[in-house]
Amino acid sequence: MTPQVLILGGTGEARQLAAHLVGRGVRVTSSLAGRVSRPQLPEGEVRVGGFGGIDGLADWLRREEVRAVVDATHPFARTMSEHAARATAATGTPVLALRRRPWQPVPGDDWRPVSSLEDAAALLPDLGDRILLTTGRQELAHFAALRDQHFVIRTVEPPEPPLPPHVTTLLSRGPFTTDGELELLREHRIDAVVTKNSGGTMTTAKLTAARELGLPVVMVQRPPVPEVPEVGTVEEAVERLGVTVTSPGTGGE
């Protein structure tokens, strides 16, 4: 029996979707990028690492007779989303994007939207001396030239150099609470927060805490993504996939 659904991504939503589908008797393969040494593994089959570009992914889809592809990658994983869209178009494989809704500001928020980490770094000299940086462990080189700020960098795994000269590293994985985030911001005397607009509920507490303390949040906006059928929740994805992966003769129940 070949995989019926390929799920791209190591997000919490991807793991939830895999569990739902496996529970319905669907064979699932989840593909993880391999950037985390000890990832939280989803139910079903798992493969780690790339496919070898668009052609490699297309060949894999044909060889494994994949019934449908779900792009449940991180909202900022633009390259993988583009590869998925082009490979599924080349093979005629149905594709569905599971993209968590972006955060939206509410009254009391002081958001400074920017289009890139480079633009975020350019704003920081005017926002304070102590910065909470929660943009992930990669691409921190954009902040390396800032010598007057002290950065509190929170990541799941140690950040990749080059880094700013003044750094405190916090290794932690969400979900986080508002009380915990308030304590962190006060303890480290944070003047501003930098984050990507990842959406979801796992890390929204930092936005609430920043609002309560009147701190500015430099919000990196999402990059453009391919136009493919899209849903915002696991439940919607399960419903959309139902007919595709459980029709007679596909191995589903």
Q: What is the pLDDT of residues 24-54, one digit of tens each?
A: 899 999 999 866 667 788 999 999 988 999 9
User: Looking at residue 243, what is its pLDDT?
Assistant: 54
For residues 59-71, average pLDDT: 96
Tokens of 2: 């070949």
CA angle 206, 208, 214 (to 5 degrees): 100
Determine the pLDDT at residue 109. 98
For the ranges 26-35, 50-59, 154-163, 165-174, which has the lowest average pLDDT? 26-35
Q: What is the mean pLDDT of residues 161-174?
A: 94
Q: Quote the CA–CA distance of 146 and 63 in Å, as a whole number.
A: 49
100: Cβ–Cβ under 8 A, 6 or more apart, which residues?
11, 13, 75, 198, 199, 200, 232
Mean pLDDT of 131-144: 94
Domains of the chain are 5-101+224-246 (3.40.50.720), 111-220 (3.40.50)
Check whether 1 has a pLDDT greater than 80.
Answer: no
Averaged over 75-84, what is the pLDDT?
93
Q: For residue range 182-231, list pLDDT tens digits in order.
A: 999 999 999 999 999 999 888 999 999 999 999 999 999 999 999 999 99
For residue 234 the two structure tokens come to 């696991």
Q: What is the pLDDT of residue 36?
A: 63
More confident residue, 38 or 117: 117
Does the structure show a pLDDT above 90 at 251? no
Alpha-helical regions (H) of the chain: 12-23, 53-64, 78-91, 117-123, 178-187, 205-213, 234-246
pLDDT at 87: 98
Q: What pLDDT does 201 receive?
A: 85
- Would you state the pLDDT for residue 244? 61
The mean of the pLDDT values for the chain is 91
